[in-house]
Chain A
Amino acid sequence: MNFIIDYYNYWVVVFLMMAGFYTVIAANNLVKKIVGLNIFQTSVFILYISMGKVAGGSAPIVADGITVYSNPLPHVLILTAIVVGVATTAVGLALVVRIKHAYGTVEENEFKHKDDLI
């Protein structure tokens, strides 16, 4: 039981990661694939953020009477990763818009040729 409670942040991460991954693989709609990809990336953000927590530590701001701080580095790293994720989503959605113009559909099973399948 402790195994589940002690590591609950990782269970959240694993659940989100698999949900997102499944959506990327199984979704038929290209926009939903992008949403799945986003959930997948977000799970990793949570992995990093929860990693920085130090037991009993406060926010990493220098103040009187506080000796234990949480590690701020993973949070800063993940800011960069969030920017990367937003950029990826933007490029992905832009591609979906152009696919809609070119093919008239964003549903994978409505593409006519085998080559066009994602």
Chain B
Amino acid sequence: MFGQHFLILPVVLPLMAAPLCIIFGHRLFAWLLATLVSGLSFVISINLLLAALEQGVLSYAVGGWEAPWGIEVRLDAASAMVLSVVTGISTLVLIYAKASIETEIDTNQHTLFYTAHLLCLTGLSGILSTGDAFNLFVFLEISSLATYTLVSLASDKRCLTAAFRYLVMGTIGATFILIGVGMMYMQTGTLNMMDLADRIAEIGGSRTLNTGLAFILVGVSIKLALFPLHMWLPPAYTHAPSAVSAFLASTATKVAVYVMVRFIFTIYGAEYVFHTMGMDLILLLLAIVAIFKCSFMAMAQSNVKTVLAYSSVAQIGYMILGISLASAAGLMAGLLHVFNHALMKGALFMAVGAVLYRTGSVDIKAFRGLGKKMPFTMAAFVIAGMSIVGVPLTAGFVSKWYLVTAALEQQNWLVAFLILLGSLLAVIYIFRIIETAYLKKPIESAANKDIKEAPLLMLVPMWVLALANIYFGLDTSLSVAAAESTSNWLVFSTLSEGGVQ
């Protein structure tokens, strides 16, 4: 009966469910509804991914208005892959959140949490499925506004200033994107992405288009926390509730990376951005500085959530590094890292949230002796930590491997060496925490005695992600196939349009 309408469901379902959570105002009902809707979106996204892998591009005209007049919903393998990751992580986080937010968010604000989470999911799915540049801005702001609210829900008052900083930076970023889209419209007279790509290839560059690209790249870089525009991220992830950190770290910045890929490869074309504008060198330098600077920052922190936040910025560096190599292999490695990093950071933040739930602290001192007291939580932390480092048999190894291969393909020995060196830095900040958990004696006190394993509802989603890290480290066929088809498609489409010109 639904047929073609399936394409819009991951956007519409959470949007419809969000107000219901508030109207009924019942915590358990809101949790069940949110989890159900998110799970349903996940199942639909997986089906869409399989369909996209088979057919190439899925298109749907919203309200029956054909593109380029109406807003087109357009899913290809790249967007369907990220959409599956986002909805999947969202479902796991929602299952996890029920127990987690009990200690971190006021009881009467729980329904608000589920509402904001669903709205954020709506925005993220919208960004991934829209084929319209202005529509993308609107969905970006829907997800961002929900995100600011989510961050400010924590009971620690520092979350408020963190959310405010995030709001100011995020709004400036979004407004920059709006300016850029305006410039593109000024020159081309269209907002449909495919139309834009055709007309930009026809015009072949002008000052207006260059300025638009500059605004868009800076705006998206703020949203995806590319060094040096990452200053909002560490406080926001540190002070947000753990469930929110887990969700945002593994989805929001990833979707922003996707937006950057879209603008660079689909709309402007790799040729134009990298060769005419010379963005590859700038992005490459910023990515490498991000990897090193933020890995060093991660080593120096005592708050484990801050360690993970800085590690996120460093890992985003790897994704941008892959993109900046300007080759099919590099883009594929970057997209693969988007997928894998979502799995590892989700699991890590969930493990830290479980520690916070039991010990009431996320300082590294609170981790002493937890290897014995919370064996399952810490084991999941170790697996995901290994994945961040890039130990073989984990998902992190696969993406690092493809990144190094992509760098070597261009005889870029220095970059390949720096990627490996960056992984060594990850060893230091991850093993500092693991060492504290397993080798240091716990501080004996009355409060510490009754620390026990986290509840099952938190352990299960955490372990699903941890095992996914191993599964996608061993069997790479699905993730690599998705990333490969997308990167081939993206690069191919720009090349063929270059040929027309």
A interface residue numbers (CB < 8 A to B) = 21, 24, 30, 33, 37, 40-41, 44, 47-48, 51, 74, 77, 80-81, 84, 87-88, 91-92, 95-96, 98-99, 102-103, 111, 115-118
Contact = CB atoms under 8 A, between A and B. Distances in A.
A41 B164 contact: no
A47 B182 contact: yes
Contacts of A47: 179, 182
Interface in B124-162: 134, 137-138, 141, 145, 148-149, 152, 157-158, 160-161
A96 B145 contact: no
Interface string B217-249: 000000000000000000100000000000000
A111 B161 contact: yes
27 contacts: A21-B172, A24-B172, A30-B164, A33-B168, A37-B171, A40-B175, A44-B182, A47-B179, A47-B182, A74-B182, A81-B178, A84-B141, A84-B174, A87-B145, A88-B171, A91-B145, A92-B167, A95-B148, A95-B152, A95-B167, A96-B164, A99-B161, A103-B161, A115-B235, A116-B158, A116-B161, A118-B168
A58 to B, nearest CB: 19
Given A51-B182, A74-B185, 9 more contacts: A37-B172, A40-B172, A40-B175, A81-B178, A84-B141, A92-B168, A99-B160, A115-B158, A116-B158
A48 B186 CA distance: 9
Contacts of B182: 44, 47-48, 51, 74
A24 B165 CA distance: 11
Contacts of B158: 115-116
Contacts of A48: 182
A41 B163 contact: no
B164 A88 contact: no
A114 to B, nearest CB: 11
B267 to A, nearest CB: 17
* Residue among A24, A48, A98, A118 facing the most chain B CB atoms (10 A cut-off): A118
B210 to A, nearest CB: 16
B138 A80 contact: yes
Contacts of A33: 168
A24 to B, nearest CB: 6
A117 B185 CA distance: 38
B148 A41 contact: no
Contacts of B174: 84
Given A44-B179, A95-B152, A88 B145 contact: yes
Contacts of B179: 44, 47
Across chains A and B, which 7 residue pairs bring their CB atoms closest together, nearest first?
A102-B157, A84-B141, A99-B160, A95-B164, A118-B165, A116-B161, A88-B171
A88 B186 contact: no
A73 B212 CA distance: 19
Q: How many residues of B sit at the interface, in one of the four size bands? A: 20 to 34
A81 B229 CA distance: 24
A27 to B, nearest CB: 10
Contacts of B148: 91, 95
Contacts of A103: 157, 160-161
A102 B160 contact: yes
A95 B163 CA distance: 8
Contacts of A92: 164, 167-168, 171
A81 B138 CA distance: 7
A110 to B, nearest CB: 12
Nearest to A106: B164
A44 B164 CA distance: 22
A44 to B, nearest CB: 5
A86 B149 CA distance: 15
Contacts of B137: 81
B160 A88 contact: no
A40 B175 CA distance: 8
* Residue among A51, A95, A103 facing the most chain B CB atoms (10 A cut-off): A95
Nearest to B161: A116
Nearest to A36: B168
Contacts of A96: 164
* Residue among B137, B141, B160, B172 facing the most chain A CB atoms (10 A cut-off): B160
A24 B149 CA distance: 20
A88 B175 CA distance: 11
A41 B219 CA distance: 13
Nearest to B238: A115
B239 to A, nearest CB: 9
A48 B160 CA distance: 33
A41 B178 CA distance: 9
A101 to B, nearest CB: 9
Contacts of A95: 148, 152, 160, 163-164, 167
A103 B164 CA distance: 13
Contact of B168 (A24, A51, A111, A117): A24
Given A92-B164, A95-B152, A118-B165, A84 B138 contact: yes
Contacts of A98: 152, 160
A62 to B, nearest CB: 18
A73 to B, nearest CB: 8
A74 to B, nearest CB: 7
A77 B145 CA distance: 19
Nearest to A118: B165
A10 to B, nearest CB: 11
Interface string B296-337: 000000000000000000000000000000000000000000
B235 to A, nearest CB: 7
A37 B173 CA distance: 11
B161 A117 contact: yes
Contacts of A91: 145, 148-149, 167
Interface string B424-440: 00000000000000000
